[in-house]
Structure 1
Amino acid sequence: MRKFSSASKILDKSRFVPSTGSYPQGYKVGALATGVKKNNAVDLSILASSVPASAAAVFTTNKFQAAPVLASKDILSTTGGQNISAIVVNSGCANAVTGEGGLKDAYTMIETVGRELGVGSRSALVMSTGVIGQRLQIDKITRGITELVGPQLGSSHEHWLSCARGIMTTDTFPKLVSKSFELDGVKYSLAGLAKGAGMICPNMATLLGFFVTDAPIAAPALQNMLKHATDRSFNCISVDTDMSTNDTIAALANGVAGGETITEGHRNYDAIQAEITAFAKQLAQLVVRDGEGATKFITLKIQDALSYEDAKTVAHSIANSSLFKTAMYGKDANWGRILCATGYAGVEVNPAKTSVSFIPTSGPALQLLVNGEPETVDEARASEILEQEDIEVHVNLGTGGGYDCEFWTCDMSHEYVTINGDYRT
């Protein structure tokens, strides 16, 4: 009987935690332990902008939307995404399905941050993550906000890393990405963090996260950029087919670095949208790499679909197939599971022209199906490829449409069941 090793013995995820960063101007961040989590773990994070910023967000489409989702939606609607000065996030309790009391708690967090920062009472966005159906220990959280705002907030790499740790739940490492780029001779920076390891399935956002920039971007343009980037990053990942009640991805742009305000018609709109999209992909991929119990990081490239949406639908179908995911965990080159999930995705496929192959990190591709005809699989070569942590699968649908999609997922191991079998207790 084949023996499987646990993910913790195979993967050293510490290499995904940055030791330095390039952070945007005008932001201070930090985190502390309020006592909501056990073992005095950090569970409250705040990001504050030195000047009011443009804001945007995408949210879960789950019908049971958590109180912080409803509150943040309201803030963005009434402000038009302007004059937002902070984001506050608690972990350890999702404040979801908590009725009117939970909604009041979410607004209390927003108002407390506003008061402590000396800005308006509707100048912050709020997020929560953790167990569903429990009320926040709001007194601990408000005390924590009061303690955190002030000298404990900072702009160093250590402050950003602490902020990323403060929003973790079953994550095994803090997810933090930063980068700088130049437009018209002005240097701009992006920094972002996310939490997510389970309940990750695409459909608007898919987890908690936010990224910020010191570029001057108008709120409507930022919203469009965020939606574009999310559709190609956080909506192109899957761990386990479950969509949370709290999923939120937010963005702030405070313009502190200077330059012309970027609107939809601005000459630099496409360039900065491309920077944000590439950045979002990098951050989203960290979520998949930390998939609960995952031992494999799998890139799916669906090619030659009739539309981008069709390609994405096929990728989604394969990524959410338990049979495919368990085969990848077992290092079994069972390409029939890939083809099966492709066939029931509900989009146009040309079976006589469909091809499937594994792409190793080095060496030639291993062709499994070519133009509808099965290849004789070199099982030794297949095993060698599937031993690797990073696996790439190409599926060409043969429609002649020419549209492609890149999607990221992971395998499903025994450890996933262990983690989720006793998550609440």
Structure 2
Amino acid sequence: MEKLEILEGSIELPKGFLASGIFAGIKKRKKDVALIYSEKEANASAVFTTNKVKAAPVILDMERIKKGVAQAIVVNSGNANACTGEKGLEDAINMAKKVSQLLKIDEKNVLVCSTGVIGVPLPMEKVLKGIEVAAETLSTEGGYQAAEAIMTTDTFLKGVTAKLVIEGKTVTMTGFAKGSGMIHPNMATMLSFILTDASITKTALDKAFKETVEKTYNMISVDGDMSTNDTAIILANGEAQNKTIEEGTHEFDIFYRALEHVNKTLAKLIVKDGEGATKFMEVNIVNAKSEKDARLAAKSIVNSNLVKTAIFGEDANWGRILAAVGYSGADFDVNRVDIYLKSLKGEIKVCENGGYIFFDEALAKEILKEKEITVTVDMKAGEYSGTAWGCDLSYDYVKINGSYRT
């Protein structure tokens, strides 16, 4: 019998994986170089930013991931290596070369990620020395250090481990991510790395990863800005020695559900750590005409600055929610829409059939005082639903981003 265990906050590296995280001096004090290594070549899939302005490591990885295999990922934080021209691409390649030399693996099996300030050349002497230290300190316990080293304005480490038993074999799937600001649907200013010892075909891995990314990372928003460096990567090295998972099987469904849960957990943690955020917002669209309509509406609401500021101000301004649905591109009849607000303090309907309804403003205020708020929009147009996650927009967001480089 198959079972799934989710350990939020845990970063237990699967069989055959080593990792490390060290301080190289790119940032002033905190860890800033991470290295992830699979002792054997792993099947790989990745999703990248849709921004036309792509950082050098993204350009490099987009080419390398085409063959569907990788063995190591090197990451630096504190510098995005974006908008750095040919020199930036050369630096990304040299980071990969350094890893390949130290670990004695094919250079094209090394993926590179960077995050931090845009438009500043990498301090390559520090980076390359840092990679040497990272390679020397690789260990089976290094997941937490790697997760710490990829952080920028994050206020807490984001990790999760899933354990699934398939046909008597224990499969481990571990993910860790960074992201706090510049978060917008269609990826975020985020890096996410999923490692698993599952044996799964390249095509099945690619399908599961890209579909679950669409349902998770692509349904979050902090501030409406899309990064140049967004990258999510999964490596599967087969060390669990389970029967190889293929599409269309029961085992694939189990793997898919676990992966979706891991990605959803990390996506929600990113939003909860939104720069300056005081509240977490889940938006559920129900009874929409299509799944596309539901997702469009949900995304539009979590990305609306007017909705975000109303949530911060604990103001049940349902008109802003309805307006965001209106410009979302979703197909719906405004005269049928109901809107509800919910938290631990209760639930209240604030809009009925697209218009005014009397509601208890005092109760609405109490509901919105909570740290986690759920907005439900009933389209009354079909049977499809969609969920997105976001946060409020506070005074502190401006403080953090007004002096980011200093």
Change over 3 Å in CA distance of 1:205–1:186 after alignment to 2: farther
Q: What pairs with 1:219-234 in structure 2 (closer than 5 Å)?
A: 219-234=202-217
- Tell me the residue number matched to 1:244: 227
2:108 counterpart of 1:116 = no
Q: 1:54 aligns with which of 43, 52, 59?
A: 43
The CA distance in 1 between the partners of 2:333 and 2:300, in whole Å, is 17
2:309 counterpart of 1:359 = no
2:254 counterpart of 1:309 = no
Residues paired across the two proteins, number: 400
Superimposed CA distance per residue, residues 365-387 of structure 1 (whole angstroms, 9 cap, x where no aligned partner): 21111233432121221111111
- Tell me the residue number matched to 1:38: 28
Change over 3 Å in CA distance of 1:206–1:260 after alignment to 2: farther
2:163 counterpart of 1:154 = no
The CA distance in 1 between the partners of 2:138 and 2:324, in whole Å, is 48
The CA distance in 2 between the partners of 1:260 and 1:97, in whole Å, is 44
- Tell me the residue number matched to 1:379: 361
The CA distance in 1 between the partners of 2:268 and 2:301, in whole Å, is 17
Q: Name the % identity.
A: 44
Contact 2:278 2:371 in 1 (8 A): yes
Query: Aligned-pair distance for 1:361?
Result: 2.6
- Tell me the residue number matched to 1:214: 197
2:393 counterpart of 1:412 = yes
Contact 2:73 2:110 in 1 (8 A): yes
Q: What pairs with 1:71-110 in structure 2 (closer than 5 Å)?
A: 71-77=60-66, 80-82=67-69, 84-110=70-96
Alignment RMSD (CA, Å): 1.5
Query: Aligned-pair distance for 1:321?
Result: 1.1
The CA distance in 1 between the partners of 2:76 and 2:13, in whole Å, is 22
Q: 1:285 aligns with which of 268, 280, 283?
A: 268
- Tell me the residue number matched to 1:125: 111
Give the letter aligned to residue 397 of structure 1.
Answer: M
Superimposed CA distance per residue, residues 119-178 of structure 1 (whole angstroms, 9 cap, x where no aligned partner): 11111111000011111111111111112113x11122xx22111110111111111111
Contact 2:348 2:364 in 1 (8 A): yes
The CA distance in 2 between the partners of 1:242 and 1:138, in whole Å, is 28
Q: What pairs with 1:114-193 in structure 2 (closer than 5 Å)?
A: 114-150=100-136, 152-156=137-141, 159-193=142-176
Contact 2:182 2:188 in 1 (8 A): no
Query: Aligned-pair distance for 1:280?
Result: 0.5
Query: Aligned-pair distance for 1:396?
Result: 0.8
* Aligned partner of residue 116 in structure 2, secondary structure: strand
* Aligned partner of residue 347 in structure 1, secondary structure: coil
The CA distance in 1 between the partners of 2:174 and 2:344, in whole Å, is 29
Contact 1:22 1:180 in 2 (8 A): no
Query: Aligned-pair distance for 1:315?
Result: 1.1
The CA distance in 1 between the partners of 2:138 and 2:107, in whole Å, is 20
Contact 1:46 1:88 in 2 (8 A): yes
2:355 counterpart of 1:389 = no
Change over 3 Å in CA distance of 1:402–1:17 after alignment to 2: closer
Residues 198-207 or 245-254, more deviating: 198-207
Q: Which runs of 5+ in 2 are unaligned?
A: 1-6
Contact 1:206 1:234 in 2 (8 A): no
Contact 2:19 2:146 in 1 (8 A): yes
Superimposed CA distance per residue, residues 157-214 of structure 1 (whole angstroms, 9 cap, x where no aligned partner): xx22111110111111111111211111211111111111111001146521111101
